[in-house]
Structure 1
């Protein structure tokens, strides 16, 4: 907080800066609470909002990544502390370290393949995706994600959870994370959502699945941000300055939201929210 206040104080035209961008502080809080309470990336909130502000497609993705580097990191640290202090020996949480080892490298490979593949080999240019179709792609992905969230709700009644990965999981999880990483490079969301839904549908603890998805997403966005800082250079830093600070607050609060409400209510609320946001991204709206 002290560092952020110093950074703000050093900015030229401070009054105009605060008047123009202070509202993004609340956006950061809301986006990070959503992201870290569900395992979904904060881009689910940031992308449609920045689209409405007519940011360029590259700026939408780059700025979303930069904000998530703040919020998802705060959430990852918070969830990791919860794991170490409260659940490290709990049977339902045994899969967390192994799950991260299976998914983080694969997710980073997917992100880097999408970002740099076209530069290294023309045949990999298709992995870059089509940024001009960002709004449509985000809408379709969000609707599919919402339907998957709704489908997983009956599984939340379980009281006995899977605690170990099968040989099939060891093969499938890296594949899911790679695909999710590629989608994340396009939309700034994807890998955390796909992995969390997979784990929940496989019968793992909902809370553990969310924690794993948050830590995975934090590692993924840090792996993705270098491209946008050095090559695309499309980050809107004034927005990040305020929304990033709000995202840190939201990342810390999110764990309390998850533990305060029932998983079923959380999934219903956030699934409905994602569905509405996704539908708004379709050309018919």
Structure 2
């Protein structure tokens, strides 16, 4: 907690004000529950879930749903509850991560030739990701299978893809910028990732990061792009998942959300100071195991 406070103090004043505002709103939200102490004793542990999911999401670019969905499945949430709750928590964690990565870009990387492509990547990917997500929601495109089956297969494929992309990371590698054709291909993948995200609450960030790493883009730039695009994508559904008729399980969101903010702030340091290859291999193994486990218990 002390390290988190220190990290917050390093952020620009406007970010500190935003975080203070969010904490105040959370306190008001909590006070509206009649049995506050009972709520704390029953749901406070979900803060750890939010921290874990956000650290994973914002350090690797993979959505926090990779952590949340297996947990919600184990809690016997319905498909609608799992997706809505995951989206709501990601609005907290991915936003904190996106602001942290943006601050990193502004203070350290703005003069970098490689990182100078970040605005281009965001301008390309963000609207296409949102279009893909809303294509699914508007036309009510059905997923190819149940949430459990689809998520399990996606997790296994994602884990293997992360392992493959990590194998391409070489010590002292020479990273590069994307060419015009590569940007077009990235746009197509991003749109498809938005469609998948609407079904599973994960997809677009993972696809963006894996493609950029395979094209030998700086891994931290790839992660930053995936995190920021995911954050802006999930927020376009906020009026649904925070609305009166939302399927989100707000007792969990109330504690996992602030936890996700803490994880989102801490994640950048993990991504920058731990070996990228080792970090991704660890999380890829966890994703594959969770996907296999969900397949076996169906």
Fold equivalence (TM over 0.5): yes
Instruction: Identify the residue that residue 160 of structure 1 maps to in structure 2.
Output: 174
Decide whether aligned partners of structure 1 residues 231 and 195 sit closer, same or farther in structure 2, where only a CA change above 3 A counts: farther
Greater CA deviation, 1-10 or 81-90?
A: 1-10
Residue 150 of structure 1 contacts residue 267 of structure 1 at CA under 8 Å; is this kept in 2? yes
2:272 is the alignment partner of 1:259:
yes
SS in 2 for 1:54: coil
User: Please, what TM-score do these two structures have when normalized by structure 1?
Assistant: 0.92
| Unpaired segments ≥5 residues, structure 2 | 1-22
Deviations 1:118-147 (A, max 9, x none): 3xxxxxxxx2326x7001100000001111
Q: Would the alpha carbon gap of residues 136 and 236 (structure 1) be closer, same or farther in structure 2, given more than 3 Å must change?
A: same
1:71/1:248 contact within 8 Å kept = yes
CA contact (8 A) 2:88 2:242 kept: no
Asked whether 1:13 is paired with 2:35, we answer: yes
Indicate the RMSD between aligned Cα atoms, in angstroms. Answer: 1.6
SS of the residue 1:189 aligns to: coil
Matched, 1:41 2:55: no
Distance 1:151 1:170, change over 3 A: same
Distance in 1 between the 2:183 and 2:273 partners? 32
**When the two structures are aligned, how many residues end up with a matched partner?**
275
Deviation at 1:223, TM superposition (A): 1.5
Give the CA deviation at 1:230. Answer: 4.9
Deviation, structure 1 residue 232: 6.2
**8 Å contact from structure 1 (residues 65, 221) kept in 2:** yes
Residues 16-25 or 232-241, more deviating: 232-241
Map residues 12-91 of structure 1 onto 2, 5 A cutoff. Answer: 12-91=34-113
Report the counterpart of residue 133 of structure 1 in structure 2: 146
TM-score (normalised: structure 2): 0.88
Contact 1:195–1:213 (Cα < 8 Å) also in 2: yes
> 1:144: which partner in 2?
157
Task: Report if aligned partners of 2:163, 2:280 keep a CA contact under 8 Å in 1.
Answer: yes
Which residue is equivalent to 2:132? 110
CA contact (8 A) 1:136 1:283 kept: no
Change in CA separation of 1:190 and 1:232 when aligned onto 2, cut-off 3 Å: farther
DSSP 3-state at the match of 1:234: coil
* 1:173 aligned onto 2:195: no
Indicate how the Cα distance of structure 1 residues 195 and 232 shifts in structure 2: closer, same or farther if over 3 A, else same: farther
**In 1, distance between residues paired with 2:237 and 2:148?**
20
Instruction: Tell whether 2:286 aligns with 1:276.
Output: no
Alignment of 1:92 with 2:106, yes or no, is no
State the distance in 2 between where 1:283 and 1:232 align: 33
Q: Which runs of 5+ in 1 are unaligned?
A: 119-126
User: Within 2, Cα distance between the matches of 1:97 and 1:26?
Assistant: 33
How far apart are 1:106 and its partner, in Å?
0.6
